[in-house]
Amino acid sequence: MTTLLPDFPTRGSAVPGTVYLVGAGPGDPELLTLRALRIIAEADVLVYDNLVSQPILDQVNPHAERLYAGKERGNHAVPQDDLNLLLVKLARQNKRVVRLKGGDPYTFGRGGEEVETLKENGIPFEVVPGITAAAGVAAFAGIPLTHRNYAQACVFVTGHLKDGSMNLDWPGLARRRQTVIIYMGLHGLSHLCAQLVAHGLPPDWPAAIVQQGTTPEQRTVTGTLATLPALAEAAQLKAPTLIIVGEVVRLKDRLAWFEKG
Ligand code: SAH
């Protein structure tokens, strides 16, 4: 691939025997980094999960072997331990191995676990950051993560349910002047909203949920902690979805530019 930055000393081509943990961004292929685009075009083998969109898979070397690692809710095609070892095995076959993940590999992506196994086995690796869902959704939904008048802090949490509840620091989350971003939270949305109110946020506190951010299927539902669960249910949203709680949600009416209708 010819370099897009001819005068810039780049990190060079993908090296055989190396594993590249690459962030694919939130969906829109133009949100790939130049590094990601180059590395996926040079891959010998691609290990990808369900969050990676088709237009991005279309950018991968057409001759690369493709291995699907799953990761839909409750359906992990390959258990994480086996996946970590698979990367080691492929690298030892002297391949350019690309582990492609939605968003950013080090944000709720288990990238740290994969790299630990690579390190333990002496496999060279590189991590290519990606635009995490929160950043992509903020930009494309018109909801800034921070704003001088509304939020001086922003927290990212996982809303994954374990035994029907979320093990989160509720007093820390139920604070004013902060934005809370919940990944993997759709199935726990009512629990989440109820807990935030129980820990002190007002029921009319703004909240939004965004489906498939940055893609043509993006849809945003806005409401309050009291109304969002029912509104989201009625809208029959499709995964992946990101939840945003905080006063920055009010800015959407003025700042939205991408979504039609
Ligand atoms: N590493 C990824 C997150 C993986 S966890 C990242 O940095 O973005 C998977 C969760 O990410 C989904 O359940 C959803 O909450 C969120 N997500 C990923 N892509 C998204 C998108 N395009 N729109 C909305 N949410 C998204």
> In angstroms, rounded to a whole number, what is the distance separating the alpha carbons of residues 130 and 113?
17
- Output the CA angle 106-125-84, nearest 5 degrees: 70
Q: The domain 133-255: what is its CATH number?
A: 3.30.950.10
Banded model confidence at residue 6, pLDDT cuts 50, 70, 90: confident
Picking from 8-12, 52-56, 132-136, 193-197, which range would have the lowest pLDDT averaged per residue?
8-12
- For a substitution probing ligand 1, which of 22, 33, 51 has the most ligand atoms within 8 Å of its CB? 51
> Is residue 57 over pLDDT 90?
yes
Contact 107, 181 (CB under 8 A): no
Averaged pLDDT, 25-50: 96
For the chain, helix, strand, coil in percent to 5 are: 30, 25, 45
Picking from 17-31, 153-167, 223-237, which range would have the lowest pLDDT averaged per residue?
153-167
Classify burial at 91, counting beta carbons within 10 Å of its beta carbon; exposed 0-12, middle 13-18, buried 19 or more.
Answer: buried
- In this predicted model, which residue has the larger pLDDT, 26 or 162? 26
Q: Indicate which residue's Cα is closest to atom 3 of ligand 1.
A: 108
- What's the confidence (pLDDT) of residue 194? 97
Banded model confidence at residue 74, pLDDT cuts 50, 70, 90: low
- What's the confidence (pLDDT) of residue 7? 73
> In angstroms, rounded to a whole number, what is the distance separating the alpha carbons of residues 181 and 4?
34
Q: The domain 19-128: what is its CATH number?
A: 3.40.1010.10
- Would the CB of 137 count as within 6 Å of ligand 1? yes
Banded model confidence at residue 182, pLDDT cuts 50, 70, 90: very high
CA nearest to 175, candidates 151, 146, 210, 191: 151
- What's the confidence (pLDDT) of residue 11? 87
Banded model confidence at residue 81, pLDDT cuts 50, 70, 90: confident
pTM for this prediction: 0.95
What is the per-residue pLDDT across 82-98, written as a single tens digit (0 to 9) for each? Answer: 899 999 999 999 999 99
The gap between the terminal CA atoms of the chain, to the nearest Å, is 39
Picking from 81-85, 101-105, 176-180, 225-229, which range would have the lowest pLDDT averaged per residue?
81-85
- For a substitution probing ligand 1, which of 22, 104, 158, 242 has the most ligand atoms within 8 Å of its CB? 242
- Would the CB of 183 count as within 6 Å of ligand 1? yes
- What's the confidence (pLDDT) of residue 5? 73
Contact 75, 241 (CB under 8 A): no
Sheet holding 125-128, edge to edge: 65-68, 45-48, 97-101, 19-23, 125-128
- Would the CB of 188 count as within 6 Å of ligand 1? no
Contact 128, 21 (CB under 8 A): yes
Banded model confidence at residue 79, pLDDT cuts 50, 70, 90: confident
- Return phi, psi of residue 223, to 5°: -170, -145
Where do the structural domains in the chain lie, given as residue ranges?
19-128, 133-255
> Is residue 255 over pLDDT 60?
yes
